[in-house]
Structure 1
Amino acid sequence: MSTIIAGHFQLQEEVERARQQLLGAGFAEERISAFFVNQPGQHDRTPIGGDHQLSPGASDTPAGVAEGAAAGGVVGAAVGATSAPLTGPFGAIVGGLVGAHIGSLFSFSKMKNKGEAETDGDNADRVRKSGMLVAVAVALADGTAAAATDEGGAIDALRRVGAHHIERAAGTIVGGDWVDFDPLSEPQLVASE
C-alpha cells in the first residue's frame, strides 16, 4: 500500500492539466490514476444497484412495515365488523381502507432512526464528492518515495491546477489504476493553506 494524494476536478481538460503537472513534478505515469467518481448512492455495490441494501436511516423499515400491517389489520377488522350491519359488504372494504391507512402511518414512524436529521448537511465532508478524481501514489508502504517528489509536492501540483477537495488515502495504484479504491470510504481531506 502507498500513501495516495487525490484531488477532485469537474472538467476533463482539468484532469489532463493535472496529469501533466504531476508528470512535470517528477511523478511516474504508472503511479498516477484518473477516473470518474459517481454520486453517493450510485456505485452499484449491491445486486440491485446502489450502495446499501437499505437506505441510511431505514434500518427498522422491515419491522415497521410488519408492525404497521398488524396494527392496520386489527383496526381494519374492527372497523369492518362494526360497520358491516350498516354498510353490508362494503364494511369489509371500508375496514380494509381504514386499516391500510392506519398501518401506513404506524410503519412510517418506524422507518427513520430516532434523532436522525432529514438532510445530510452535517455529513457533507464525510461523503466523497462526485466528479473526476486524479490520484498519485507518493510513498510506498516501506516509507520510500514513489517518485522524485513527496506528498507536499503532489498537493502543491494539484492546487496549482485548481483541484478541490484534496484528500489523503492509503491504497495501491498499479499501472495507472487505483485498484483498491473504495468510493464509500470517508475521505480524509487535506487542510487548505
Structure 2
Amino acid sequence: MSTIIAGRFQLQDEVDRAREELAAAGFDTDRISAFYLSQPGQHDQTPIGGDHLLSPGAKETPEGVVKGVAAGGAVGVAIGAATSPVTGPLGPIVGGLVGGHVGSLFSFTKMKERGEPEEGGENRIPPREAGMLVAVAFDDADQADRAIDVLRQLGAHRLERAEGNIVDGDWADFDPDSNPQYIA
C-alpha cells in the first residue's frame, strides 16, 4: 500500500492542470488518478444499486414498527372487546387492526433526525461531496508535503490522505463510502 494524497476540483481544466503539475513535480504519471465521484448513495456498490442495503439510520426501523404494531394492536383489541356489545364479534378484530396500524405510525416518532448519531454509535464524518478528484500515490513519505503543496497551489479543496494503490492511473481500491481523513 502506498500513501495517497487527493484533492477535489470543480472544473475539468483544473483537473488536467493538476495532473500536468503533479507530473512536472516528479510524480509518476501512472500513479496519478483523476475521476468523478458521484453523490453519496449513488455509487452502485450493492446488487440493487446504491451504497447500502439498508439506509443509514434505518436499522432500528423493523424493531420499532413491530413494537408499535404490538402495542397498538393490544390496545385496539381491548377497546374492541369493551365495545363488543355495540360492535359485535368484529369489534375486537377491527379494533386490533386499527390499533396495530396506528401503533405502526406512532413508531415513526422514534426515528432519528438527520445527523443524529445511531443508538450507541458516534457521529460519522460527513461523506465526500460529489466532484472531480485528483489523487497521487507515492511510497516515499517525504513526497507528501510536496503533493499537498502542489494541490493547494492549484486550488484543490478538501485535501485528504489515504492508503491504497493507484496503478495505470486507476485508484483500484478506492472506497467512496469510507471516512475520509481530511488534511487541515
Coarse TM-score class (shorter-chain normalised): 0.7 to 0.9
Count of residues paired in the alignment:
179
**TM-score, normalising length from structure 1?**
0.78
5+ long unaligned stretches in structure 1: none
**TM-score, normalising length from structure 2?**
0.81
Structure 1 residue 93, shift from structure 2 partner: 4.2
1:118 aligns with 2:117: no
The root-mean-square deviation of aligned C-alpha atoms, in Å, is 2.8
5+ long unaligned stretches in structure 2: 117-121
1:137 aligns with 137
Deviations 1:141-184 (A, max 9, x none): xx488xxxx22221121112210001111100000000111111
1:155 aligns with 148
1:32 aligns with 32
2:119 aligns with none
2: CA distance, partners of 1:79 / 1:10: 62
SS at match of 1:43: coil
> Match for 2:53: what amino acid?
Q
Deviations 1:20-45 (A, max 9, x none): 22122122211110111122222222
Q: 8 Å contact 2:6–2:134 — kept in the other structure? A: yes
Q: How has the CA–CA distance of structure 1 residues 69 and 48 changed in structure 2, closer, same or farther, with 3 Å as cutoff?
A: farther
2: CA distance, partners of 1:127 / 1:34: 19
Q: Which runs of 4+ in 1 moved over 6 A?
A: none
> Match for 2:152: what amino acid?
R
Instruction: Output aligned runs, 1:1-193, within 5 Å.
Output: 1-87=1-87, 91=91, 92-93=93-94, 96-105=97-106, 107-112=107-112, 118-119=114-115, 125-139=125-139, 143=140, 150-191=143-184
